[in-house]
Amino acid sequence: MTEVFGVIGHPIKHSLSPVMHNAAFRHLNYDGIYLAFEVRSGELESALNGARALGIRGLNITIPHKERAAEILTPDRAVEEIGACNTADLSEWRCYNTDVHGVLMALREAGIDINGIRVLVVGAGGAGKACIYALRDAGEVFVTNRTAERGREVARRFGVEFIEMEGLATQSFDLIVNATPIGMKGFPDTLPVPEEVVRRCSAVFDMVYNPPETRLVKVGRKYGCRIASGVDMLIYQGAKAFEIFTGLKAPVDVMKRAVVSELEKLA
């Protein structure tokens, strides 16, 4: 019988996850299908229970449900600490955060050595927290956020330092991570930090993947920075979820080709 998987969120119609996972199923001749389900806030618990009752094997979980799902499902250690998940194994009623793997692999693909690195994470939402969790043991992590109160709370939670946005211009970092939607299609294509800060760093990582070439990426390139890609993060978080769902090794290259070709169509 065909195994059913999917992604739940709101809005969900632009998700690239179905293209990525269905390409992997086809490549491996796996009898599975991956669908996008529009689930509004307030409907999450019934959606998860309903999906389990219907025999849906696994779900990816995206905005606005990552935090609440971590409370409903049984979290692994990383989810417990981050307070947000993006992958649910419904047969086990467990949830995982594969964004952490996505972050580490995107940096590795870009040849960025994270040991001892001084990192600024811009954004204190789900993606920012996964990034802080991924990097805080390897390097010295700082966080900044539009809403200072939320940024401070996240910094406290992870034992890292909070910096006010207004205080950034005089600071230096090795790596700048954009974990906000600034630069994403539909948002202003501005820089998430002052240009001076980009000029002084040696690497940038923009989690935004649509478009893949944001202003942060272009300015980072201009100053000779190494560039870690949001597209790679998307693929590797998806690959890890695929492995949790199926127990099979994910065909990463196939998944990447499917995503890149879809992004070219959207450009």
Residues with catalytic function: 66
Least Cβ distance, residue 57 to ligand NAP (angstroms)? 21
CA atoms within 13 A on the CB side of 123: 20
* 136 contacts 116 by C-beta, under 8 angstroms: no
Q: What x/- string results for residues 227 through 246 when contact with ligand NAP is judged by CB under 6 A?
A: ---x--xx--x---------
CA distance 9 to 40: 7
CA distance 186 to 163: 27
- The number of beta carbons lying within 10 Å of the beta carbon of residue 2 is 8
Does residue 207 interact with ligand NAP by CB under 6 A?
A: yes
Does residue 181 interact with ligand NAP by CB under 6 A?
A: yes
Does residue 126 interact with ligand NAP by CB under 6 A?
A: yes
CA distance 34 to 17: 8
Per DSSP bridges, beta strands 87-89 and 58-61 are antiparallel
Our CB check for ligand NAP shows the closer of 104 and 234 to be 234
Does residue 211 interact with ligand NAP by CB under 6 A?
A: no
* Binding residues for ligand NAP, total number by CB under 6 A: 25
Q: Where are the alpha helices (DSSP H) in the chain?
A: 17-28, 44-53, 66-72, 77-82, 99-109, 126-135, 148-158, 195-200, 215-222, 230-246, 252-266
Q: What x/- string results for residues 96 through 125 when contact with ligand NAP is judged by CB under 6 A?
A: ---x--x--------------------xxx
Least Cβ distance, residue 234 to ligand NAP (angstroms)? 4
Our CB check for ligand NAP shows the closer of 55 and 153 to be 153
CA distance 14 to 183: 16
Q: 238 labelled as ligand-binding?
A: no
> Which residue, 54, 68, 8, 66, is CA-closest to 35?
8
**What does the binding site for ligand NAP look like in residue numbers (CB under 6 A)?**
63, 99, 102, 123-128, 145-147, 150, 179-182, 184, 207-209, 230, 233-234, 237
Q: Which residues are annotated as a binding site?
A: 15-17, 62, 86, 99, 123-127, 145-150, 207, 209, 230, 237
Q: Which residues are known binding-site members for NADP(+)? A: 123-127, 145-150, 207, 230
* Residues contributing to the annotated binding site for shikimate: 15-17, 62, 86, 99, 209, 237
